[in-house]
């Protein structure tokens, strides 16, 4: 068996503070390291991520996951119930569960083997505020436990923005927030997304553009607020081509 070498994650205390006015405590830092070690080990079998150096993992998986929700840390005081739709190997949901032990995170993915892998991580990370769910976003809203149940829905690298909105809005409580993690973003894309979000009972509340702190990569987070009940029938059934416009 090949020997598995892992490296120490950088602490980046100053960067955490400068960018998010936050830093992990000792337990959080140990959990981040443990997550990194376990993902690297799992990668040998499961091909979970291309991001493997400590710096890249810190920036693209830890920092990026938290950057999307950190703006809420000032304004939101009650514990949030969040769903990470298309979580893959657990991003952005796992770093958020580590950073916010008071929040409750559901990690959803349609790929059983990815969810089975995350299941093995949770006890090792000693995370008691995260649960997993195998399924498609189009299907779980039929289960009353999930419909209109979440304060937050998070989607990173899952589908075109309009499809992400369609997955997220039905699962949110009224006044809930969907956060779409995107790369580059244009005004034309905003114009195209606006009517789709409206049809789903939401509004584009804000759009934040920023660069990542190590590689200066362009990122955009879209914040969609649910203001009305989403009409029945959304999201449309699986199999309807994702490109189909609403
Ligand atoms: N969010 C992770 C993974 C992105 S890859 C990250 O940023 O690293 C996209 C993931 O979404 C895949 O694991 C895929 O299985 C899942 N996925 C795609 N469509 C889905 C759907 N309709 N419902 C649930 N999961 C979906």
How many folded domains does the chain comprise? Answer: 1
Domain containing 127: what range?
2-226
Cis amide leading into 92 (omega within 30): yes
Residue 2: the pLDDT is 47
d(CA 7, CA 180): 31
Residues 161-213: tens digit of each pLDDT: 999 999 999 999 999 999 999 999 999 999 999 999 999 999 999 999 999 99
Q: Is residue 235 part of a domain?
A: no
Residues 114-148: tens digit of each pLDDT: 999 999 999 999 999 999 999 999 998 777 788 88
Q: How far is the CA of 214 from the centre of ligand 1 (A)?
A: 25
Q: Is residue 234 part of a domain?
A: no
pLDDT of 1 higher than 50:
no
- Confidence band for 52, pLDDT divided at 50, 70 and 90: confident
Q: How far is the CA of 238 from the centre of ligand 1 (A)?
A: 14
Q: Is residue 239 part of a domain?
A: no
Residue 111: the pLDDT is 96
pTM: 0.95
Give the atom of ligand 1 at the shortest distance from the alpha carbon of 135.
24
d(CA 147, CA 25): 34
For ligand 1, mutation pick of 68, 82, 87, 158 (most atoms within 8 Å of CB): 158
Residue 102: the pLDDT is 96
Give me the CATH number covering residue 53: 3.40.50.150
Q: Of all protein residues, whose CA lies closest to atom 14 belonging to ligand 1?
A: 86
Residue 244: the pLDDT is 55
Ligand 1 binding pocket (C-beta < 6 A) is 85-88, 91, 108-111, 114, 136-138, 156-159
Residue 51: the pLDDT is 84
Q: How far is the CA of 23 from the centre of ligand 1 (A)?
A: 28
Residues 77-98: tens digit of each pLDDT: 899 999 999 999 999 999 999 9
Q: Is residue 100 part of a domain?
A: yes
Q: Are 48 and 201 in contact (CB under 8 A)?
A: no
- Confidence band for 49, pLDDT divided at 50, 70 and 90: confident
Q: Is residue 241 part of a domain?
A: no
Residue 77: the pLDDT is 86
A 10 A CB-CB count for 67 gives 20
- Confidence band for 236, pLDDT divided at 50, 70 and 90: confident
Q: Is residue 33 part of a domain?
A: yes
Q: Is residue 240 part of a domain?
A: no
For ligand 1, mutation pick of 110, 112, 132, 182 (most atoms within 8 Å of CB): 110
Residue 246: the pLDDT is 57
Please choose, from the candidates 87, 85, 140, the residue with its C-alpha nearest in 3D space to the C-alpha of residue 118.
87
Residue 245: the pLDDT is 56
H runs (alpha helix) in 173-245: 187-199
Q: Of all protein residues, whose CA lies closest to atom 10 belonging to ligand 1?
A: 86
């Amino acid at each position: 068996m090949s020997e598995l070498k892992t490296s120490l994650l950088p602490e980046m205390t100053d960067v955490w503070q400068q960018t998010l006015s936050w830093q992990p405590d000792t337990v959080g830092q140990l959990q981040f390291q443990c997550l990194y070690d376990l993902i690297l080990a799992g990668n040998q079998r499961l091909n979970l991520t291309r991001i493997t150096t400590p710096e890249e993992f810190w920036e693209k998986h830890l920092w990026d996951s938290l950057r999307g929700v950190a703006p809420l840390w000032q304004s939101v005081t009650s514990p949030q119930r969040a769903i990470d739709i298309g979580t893959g190997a657990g991003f952005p949901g796992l770093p958020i569960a580590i950073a916010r032990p008071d929040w409750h995170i559901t990690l959803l993915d349609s790929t059983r083997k990815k969810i089975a892998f995350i299941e093995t991580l949770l006890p090792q990370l000693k995370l008691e505020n995260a649960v997993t769910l195998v399924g498609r976003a189009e299907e779980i809203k039929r289960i009353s436990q999930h419909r209109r149940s979440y304060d937050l829905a998070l989607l990173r690298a899952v589908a075109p923005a309009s499809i992400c909105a369609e997955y997220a809005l039905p699962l949110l409580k009224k006044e809930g927030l969907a956060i779409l993690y995107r790369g580059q973003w244009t005004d034309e894309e905003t114009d195209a997304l606006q009517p789709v979000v409206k049809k789903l009972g939401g509004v584009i509340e804000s759009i934040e553009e920023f660069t990542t702190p190590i590689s200066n990569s362009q990122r955009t987070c879209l914040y969609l607020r649910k203001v009305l009940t989403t009409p029945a029938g959304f999201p449309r059934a699986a199999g309807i081509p994702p490109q189909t416009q609403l």
